[in-house]
Structure 1
Amino acid sequence: MSFRSFGLGQEAKILKANEYATVFKGGKFAKGKYWQIVAKPINAYTPRLGLAISKKVHRLAVDRNRYKRIARETFRVQKQQLEHWDFVVMARRSKSVKNAILSAELLDLMKKVTQD
Structure 2
Amino acid sequence: MVKQTFPRELRLLTPEDFQNVFAKPVRAASPQLTLLARINDCGHPRLGLAVPKKVLKRAVWRNRIKRLLRENFRLKQSELPNVDIVVIAKSGIGKLSNEELQKLIDSLWRKLTRRYNG
Distance, in Å, in 1 between the alignment partners of 2:102 and 2:16 is 27
What is the CA-CA distance between 1:98 and the residue it aligns to?
1.2
Q: 1:23 aligns with which of 5, 17, 21?
A: 21
**Contact persistence 2:45–2:83 (CA under 8 A):** yes
Q: Which residue of 1 aligns with 2:79?
A: 81
* Residues 1:43 and 2:48 aligned together: no
- % identity of equivalent residues: 32
Corresponding residue SS for 1:89 = strand
Letter in 1 for 2:11: K
**Contact persistence 2:81–2:113 (CA under 8 A):** no
**Contact persistence 1:35–1:92 (CA under 8 A):** yes
**Contact persistence 2:32–2:90 (CA under 8 A):** yes
Corresponding residue SS for 2:86 = strand
Distance, in Å, in 2 between the alignment partners of 1:97 and 1:75 is 18
Q: Which runs of 5+ in 2 are unaligned?
A: none
Q: Which residue of 1 aligns with 2:104?
A: 105
Distance, in Å, in 2 between the alignment partners of 1:27 and 1:114 is 14
**Contact persistence 1:57–1:91 (CA under 8 A):** yes
Distance, in Å, in 2 between the alignment partners of 1:36 and 1:90 is 5
Distance, in Å, in 2 between the alignment partners of 1:109 and 1:40 is 15
Number of aligned pairs?
A: 111
Q: Deviations over 1:42-84 (max 9, x none)?
A: 2322110000110011111111001100110010000100131
Distance, in Å, in 1 between the alignment partners of 2:83 and 2:103 is 19
TM-score, scaled to structure 1: 0.88
Q: Deviations over 1:18-37 (max 9, x none)?
A: 10000111211221132111
What is the CA-CA distance between 1:7 and the residue it aligns to?
4.6
TM-score, scaled to structure 2: 0.87
Distance, in Å, in 1 between the alignment partners of 2:108 and 2:21 is 16
Worse overlay, 31-40 or 54-63: 31-40
Q: Deviations over 1:85-110 (max 9, x none)?
A: 11100111115221111121112112
